Structure 1
Amino acid sequence: MSRFIEGQSRTQSTLFPEVLDDYIHEDNPIRAVDMFINSLGLSDLGFARCQPANTGRPSYSPATMLKIYLYGYLNRIQSSRRLEKETQRNVELMWLVERLTPDFKTIADFRRDNGNAIQQVCKRFVLICRELNMFTDAIVAIDGTKFKAVNNIAKNYSRGLIKTCIETTEKDIANYLMELDRADRQSRTEDAEKLKGKLAKLQARLVSEKTIQQELETLPDKQISYTDPDSRRMALKHKGVLVGYNVQAAVDTKYHLILAHYVTNNPSDRHQLVPMSQHVQQALGRQQITILADRGYDDSTSFKTVHEAGVTAIVPKIRTSANRKKGLFTKEDFVYNKEKD
């Protein structure tokens, strides 16, 4: 007899076959997702194809597709192809969508066509939490993170970068002209033809770069992205650069739920306290709130604005002195003692 724990035989038959619902525990959060989505009026939220067509092949219900999307969000599954596989092998998801298996294209199209409606679902969830008095403390923490855009870094130009590109191209053209003169003097006909072809490409590139330079001068921030026009070049905390967005999020300090988010192409968090406080006030439906943030949000003008709007902002002051890095004392190391003065 084996001393290991043994499982049941795969070919063992039972008198009463188990149903799929038996595999989902009563406390499983997926049941809450099912109840939440079933309680929504999806047509009122703006979802497309809520009414099935009378002709043609039947389509998947928006509720089914939304359940797949939310399940992927809760379990960090972003790929539509992975979600397609999960509907075929994941017991929780099989239970949630009643064994339906949409293909990845259907899942991707749903996400693309219903972006605004999905945002309304998030707002409805926050409203339900408000009705349950989950946000009575009205204390939130905000922070920003950099999200990479579709735009490749090679397709993003700034005034300084395009100036460097033009200078490099002009140097290359000058070098090719010198090489072309040398080839002509030495009667190297084949080499001269190759050099002329390369020179023509460089001259065309120079024209394109100067066109970009002129276009940059008309833009307020002197930066342009061609694939994703709204994206901007941003420095990362631990060095490096990406072209993307600064996504601001506000999280409830008690239940750690995201109350509001805000997307900007401003790489700095310094001026984001005001718009984020407005989004949080709107989400909570109240003016008197407390916001916690890191020193990246330290801005006296923003403090004044949010204070007048009823917001208590708790933000550490920016350290402007470099003495601590040098091993020296800073202002924080000195405390006034009134009794011993």
Structure 2
Amino acid sequence: MDQLSLPMDLQEDIPQNHLVRIINDAVNRLSMNLFTKAYPGGGRDSYHPKMLMKVIIYAYTQRIYSSRQFAKAVRENIMFMWLAARQRPDFRTINRFRPERMKDVLESVFTTVLQFLAEEKYVNLEHYFVDGTKIEANANRYTFVWGKAVVRHKMKLQEKVQSLFATIEKAEKQEEAALNGLDLCELGEAAAITSEKLDQAVKQLEAKLDKKPKDKPLKKAVRLVRKDLLPRLQKYEEQQQILGTRNSYSKTDHDATFMRMKEDHMQNGQLKPGYNVQIGTENQFMIGYSLHQRPTDTRCLKPHLEKVKTALGQLPRTIIADAGYGSEENYAYLNEEACNVVVKYSTYHKENSKSWQTDISKLDNWTYDEKSDAWTCAAGQKLAFRYESKTTTESGFEIRTSHYRSSTCDGCPLKPKCTKAKGDREIQVSMNYLHMKRQAREHLKSKEGYALSVRRMHEPESVFGQIKNNRGFRRFLLRGLLKVSLEVGWLSLAHNLLKKAATDKIAKVTVQV
């Protein structure tokens, strides 16, 4: 053990086809111009960003996600020692580099590595398989704020404030004295009372109290507003600002939303704070990723694809997704982008069942006359057009819904099977969505569409299985939307290089055989 032995070079003990060599080669190909944003200059010399990047990427492939474990591996593990060139950055250096230095660089690095993979024919960027998964946030599961509760408490507080000021105004009127020009009715309705208005009103009441220091009811009211009501109203307004359009958030990570997780340790569908991770894959390589605060996938597709379009310059030719993305807005967006759409809608599989095809209440089993703009039900009764309504989604997309009603359903023997309504049968349908679903059905039933929909079942799902099960990443370590997005970026980089190593190994074995 004490005898000096040769060789001293660490790479002599590393196999030629080892994963660390692939990571080393991929990072070395990156241009240093990518890191100019992270290192503006000045101060002491820093560790080389490529060295730190190699260490972090390899750590993510080895189920190591803590900066302290990174620093330990650099001192003890021969693979990390070789990547770090025997340098020993401490955990603080790694922790500053991972979320802070790389916040404006990581997505460019991911896109550049993806270009390398495309040049080497690992991906061709033609088919894009989209799916999402929920990953728990690094936040307390029991310190939550619910949007409906905030609205309810705020309304009760505003009503209490309005009642209090009405009582004060009534007392003033009885004394036939003015409150130095203060008109308490300016507070308006309960819903219009804000913390700014309340603060101004209290200041005027305090000025009045200085002239009448012995007015005990007024003094009590001022103390109640200043010490209790105003701080609570400010707290509710702050909570609503944090919530935005969400229905909940965690007090320990304001960006995390409470979602129902499949991986629930209590097996009862418990709500936990988390993020919705959307990815797109091809040949089980990750082509794009994005992070969302919405628990449902439907409204995540458009922002996700917009991010992919910005990174790649254009969208892949064909978009494949499951029924969770089959909304009218998503179909319209994909048609505008001139993409081939292989996206199921919610009732696609049900429509193939015998029970659906024999159900006379379903619109699919009726006939539509375009000239007269009327539907004919199974009993031969026509449902004429009445009016059209418009609704606008949160993103600004307009949905037009046509309303139809039968002239009479009295005496119809099929009415019990057709509707449970007491009156005549009415239907509401978006003709645009109906047309888009028919187009989607044609694509899905074609030979190419069926093959792609079957392939989708193991494309992104396999990637999620690699990340969650094989590499044990089930909970984020960092907090905040920006830092968590960077974690997903590191995971994506590590997955792609790990997949490249596995693909090369399979190809080599195939050639030998």
- Give the TM-score, by structure 1 length: 0.69
Give the distance between the partners of 1:292 and 1:25, measured in 2 at CA: 39
How has the CA–CA distance of structure 1 residues 47 and 77 changed in structure 2, closer, same or farther, with 3 Å as cutoff?
farther
Q: In structure 2, give the amino acid aligned to 1:291.
A: I
Q: In structure 1, give the amino acid aligned to 2:31.
A: G
Post-superposition offset of 1:220: 4.8
Give the distance between the partners of 1:250 and 1:257, measured in 2 at CA: 8
2:393 alignment counterpart: none
1:241 alignment counterpart: 271
Q: Which of 54, 57, 71 is the matching residue for 1:70?
A: 57
Post-superposition offset of 1:309: 0.8
Q: In structure 2, give the amino acid aligned to 1:267.
A: P
Q: Which of 78, 89, 92 is the matching residue for 1:102?
A: 89
Are 2:208 and 1:221 equivalent residues in the alignment? no
Where is the helix percentage greater, Structure 1 or Structure 2? 2
Equivalent pairs, count: 284
Are 2:37 and 1:25 equivalent residues in the alignment? no
Post-superposition offset of 1:41: 2.6
Q: Which of 297, 320, 325 is the matching residue for 1:269?
A: 297
**Which SS does the other structure have where 1:292 is aligned?**
strand
Are 2:328 and 1:303 equivalent residues in the alignment? no
Give the distance between the partners of 1:152 and 1:60, measured in 2 at CA: 35
CA deviations on 1:156-177 (whole Å, 9 max, x unpaired) are 322333478899xxxxxxxxxx
Are 2:150 and 1:122 equivalent residues in the alignment? no
Post-superposition offset of 1:216: 5.3
2:66 alignment counterpart: 79
- Give the TM-score, by structure 2 length: 0.48
How has the CA–CA distance of structure 1 residues 60 and 262 changed in structure 2, closer, same or farther, with 3 Å as cutoff?
same
Give the distance between the partners of 2:348 and 2:130, measured in 1 at CA: 22
How has the CA–CA distance of structure 1 residues 154 and 210 changed in structure 2, closer, same or farther, with 3 Å as cutoff?
farther
Q: In structure 1, give the amino acid aligned to 2:48.
A: S
Long gaps (5+) in structure 1: 1-10, 168-203, 323-327, 337-341
Q: Any residues of structure 2 matched to 1:123-138 within 5 Å, and which?
A: 123-136=111-124, 138=126
How has the CA–CA distance of structure 1 residues 248 and 163 changed in structure 2, closer, same or farther, with 3 Å as cutoff?
same
**Which SS does the other structure have where 1:271 is aligned?**
helix
Give the distance between the partners of 1:273 and 1:232, measured in 2 at CA: 18
Give the distance between the partners of 2:141 and 2:288, measured in 1 at CA: 29
**Which SS does the other structure have where 1:279 is aligned?**
helix
**Which SS does the other structure have where 1:25 is aligned?**
coil
How has the CA–CA distance of structure 1 residues 211 and 312 changed in structure 2, closer, same or farther, with 3 Å as cutoff?
same
2:421 alignment counterpart: none
Q: Is the 8 A contact 2:256 2:293 kept in 1?
A: yes
**Which SS does the other structure have where 1:250 is aligned?**
strand
Q: Is the 8 A contact 1:157 1:224 kept in 2?
A: yes
Q: Is the 8 A contact 1:216 1:222 kept in 2?
A: no
Q: In structure 2, give the amino acid aligned to 1:120.
A: S
How has the CA–CA distance of structure 1 residues 70 and 153 changed in structure 2, closer, same or farther, with 3 Å as cutoff?
same
Q: Is the 8 A contact 1:50 1:61 kept in 2?
A: no
Q: Is the 8 A contact 1:126 1:283 kept in 2?
A: no
**Which SS does the other structure have where 1:302 is aligned?**
helix
Post-superposition offset of 1:80: 0.5
Q: Which of 128, 148, 151 is the matching residue for 2:136?
A: 148
Q: In structure 2, give the amino acid aligned to 1:221.
A: T
Q: Is the 8 A contact 2:279 2:288 kept in 1?
A: yes
How has the CA–CA distance of structure 1 residues 294 and 206 changed in structure 2, closer, same or farther, with 3 Å as cutoff?
farther
**Which SS does the other structure have where 1:260 is aligned?**
strand
Post-superposition offset of 1:128: 1.8
Give the distance between the partners of 1:87 and 1:229, measured in 2 at CA: 34
Q: In structure 1, give the amino acid aligned to 2:122.
A: M
Post-superposition offset of 1:329: 5.9
Identity of aligned residues (%): 24
**Which SS does the other structure have where 1:261 is aligned?**
strand
Give the distance between the partners of 2:69 and 2:94, measured in 1 at CA: 10
Give the distance between the partners of 1:101 and 1:206, measured in 2 at CA: 55
Post-superposition offset of 1:79: 0.3
1:251 alignment counterpart: 281
Q: In structure 1, give the amino acid aligned to 2:245.
A: D
**Which SS does the other structure have where 1:115 is aligned?**
coil
Q: Is the 8 A contact 2:246 2:257 kept in 1?
A: no
Are 2:148 and 1:160 equivalent residues in the alignment? yes
Give the distance between the partners of 2:5 and 2:58, measured in 1 at CA: 33
Give the distance between the partners of 2:7 and 2:316, measured in 1 at CA: 56
1:188 alignment counterpart: none
Post-superposition offset of 1:31: 1.1
Post-superposition offset of 1:75: 2.2
Give the distance between the partners of 1:333 and 1:64, measured in 2 at CA: 65
Over the aligned positions, Cα root-mean-square deviation in angstroms equals 3.9
Post-superposition offset of 1:277: 3.0
Q: In structure 2, give the amino acid aligned to 1:20.
A: L
Give the distance between the partners of 2:5 and 2:356, measured in 1 at CA: 78
The structure with the largest alpha-carbon Rg is 2
2:46 alignment counterpart: 59
How has the CA–CA distance of structure 1 residues 151 and 166 changed in structure 2, closer, same or farther, with 3 Å as cutoff?
farther
Q: Is the 8 A contact 1:159 1:213 kept in 2?
A: no
Q: Which of 292, 310, 314 is the matching residue for 2:320?
A: 292
Give the distance between the partners of 2:338 and 2:348, measured in 1 at CA: 28
